[in-house]
Structure 1
Amino acid sequence: MQPEGLFLYKGLLAPDAQAALVSDLREAVALAPLFAPLTPWGKPMRVRMTSLGRFGWYSDRKGYRYVERHPSGVAWPPIPPAVLAIWDQAAPGARAPECCLVNYYAEKAAMGLHQDRDEADMSQPVVSLSLGDPALFRVGGLERGAPTTSFDLESGDVLVMSGAARRVFHGVDRIRFGRSSLLKGGGRINLTLRVVT
């Protein structure tokens, strides 16, 4: 049973729109390159990431937080209009997103169960867009040990976590590498839109 407030829109972004968006993202990543943050315990994450918008998500030995600049010192690139349009479609009435976290999953990348809780206004949804290879996504409850369920997120899918589902534990078990031809060399891009302040 899925938590209340979790909505999955299969194939919301058409293939041609996916390809155009990947082109936009390549330009942004050229300005603010992907990097592997350190966890507070000093281990590099298996996912490489960057951000778009007013804020970017960051982690190091000091903890998890939002910062206004890329580790190189440059400002985060703006969120592309096509991504903002997805937010408007999937989360009508929500405040405008201030951060678009860009995660790149290579063949063996994964992300353990976690909650998104570094934002000040938890009443606002999190909207996630998948591009490239499918991911086996796991979602649980409000406690780490709660039962979980898993399902595939495929290229063009949009997942909304709102209401009670805004605080659930979730993660990516694995990437079904090589199933999509969208990204040269394979892998998955996940865009996660959030209101920060």
Structure 2
Amino acid sequence: MLDLFSGEAPWSETLADGAQVQRRRALAVADELLANIDAIAKLNPFYHRITPGGHRMSVAMTNCGDFGWATHARGYHYSRQDQNSAQNWPAMPALFYSLAVAAAEEAGFTGFNPDACLINRYEPGARMTLHQDKDEKDLRQPVVSISLGLPAIFQFGGFERDAATQRILLEHGDIVVWGGSSRLRYHGVLPLKADIHPQCGAFRYNLTFRRAF
């Protein structure tokens, strides 16, 4: 049986109450995760969403699971189908689900049952502005975020957009989990710096697991 948390010197760092970085936790299965991303992207290709304000997001996205994250003129929502193709999202791979559940449990969140996985692809210059994940119905469930590919600076802030932020370097195989009293903290990613990663080339991939409904 594959040990999901085997690999290169895993350890955890606390960011705040209910929030931690699990360093290198996904490293042992990173190649399999990337293969699954490729398979999902063949069924539902990455594309750049348009924000309600009419701006093209710098991050390209696809989804898997029962629900996917989408945008429309009135805001953001989860749907069972891709608004572009009108097709259901690809199924969430078993490895995705088991790794997310195990990471949540290690962070103290038992019973995590994600039904949505957002897959973001960053290219040099792409960023994610500070935001809260608050479109989910059950905010008692945590968010689990897995980083693959190029390193990025993750911003983890407070409960107001202008609150001070921590800047955390996230590297290939790192997992961030936040929930409980930290569930609605603002967070984001600074513009990705250009480089080449041995497995991911010029990209960073981020898998974000939520319980949408």
RMSD: 1.3
The aligned amino acid for 1:113 is: L
Q: Aligned pair count?
A: 195
Residue 179 of structure 1 and its aligned partner are, at CA, apart by 5.0
1:13 counterpart = 2:26: yes
Residue number in structure 2 paired with 1:190: 206
1:118 counterpart = 2:109: no
TM (norm. structure 1) is 0.95
**In 1, are the aligned partners of 2:112 and 2:142 still within 8 Å (CA)?**
no
Give the direction of change, closer, same or farther, for the CA distance of 1:113–1:173 in structure 2 (3 Å limit): same
Which of residues 177, 184, 196 in structure 1 aligns to 2:194? 177
**In 2, are the aligned partners of 1:94 and 1:125 still within 8 Å (CA)?**
no
Residue number in structure 1 paired with 2:94: 81
Residue number in structure 1 paired with 2:74: 62
**In 2, are the aligned partners of 1:3 and 1:141 still within 8 Å (CA)?**
no
The aligned amino acid for 1:4 is: D
1:3 counterpart = 2:16: yes
Instruction: Report Cα offsets for 1:143-189 as digits up to 9, x if no partner.
Output: 11111110111110010011111100000012233252111x31100
Instruction: Find the aligned partners of 2:176 and 2:96 in 1 and give their Cα distance.
Output: 13
Instruction: Find the aligned partners of 2:146 and 2:73 in 1 and give their Cα distance.
Output: 28
The runs of at least 4 consecutive aligned structure 1 residues that moved more than 4 Å come to none
Residue number in structure 2 paired with 1:149: 166
**In 2, are the aligned partners of 1:136 and 1:176 still within 8 Å (CA)?**
no
Higher relative contact order (CA 8 A, sep 6+): 1
Instruction: Find the aligned partners of 2:163 and 2:40 in 1 and give their Cα distance.
Output: 38
Instruction: Find the aligned partners of 2:112 and 2:32 in 1 and give their Cα distance.
Output: 25
Instruction: Find the aligned partners of 1:20 and 1:176 in 2 and give their Cα distance.
Output: 25
- Unmatched runs of 5 consecutive residues or more in structure 2: 1-13
Instruction: Find the aligned partners of 2:145 and 2:15 in 1 and give their Cα distance.
Output: 16
**In 1, are the aligned partners of 2:101 and 2:112 still within 8 Å (CA)?**
no
Instruction: Find the aligned partners of 1:196 and 1:4 in 2 and give their Cα distance.
Output: 23
Query: Percent identity between the aligned chains?
Result: 36
Instruction: Find the aligned partners of 1:10 and 1:174 in 2 and give their Cα distance.
Output: 21
Instruction: Report Cα offsets for 1:32-78 as digits up to 9, x if no partner.
Output: 11111111101111101010000000013221000111121111011
- Unmatched runs of 5 consecutive residues or more in structure 1: none
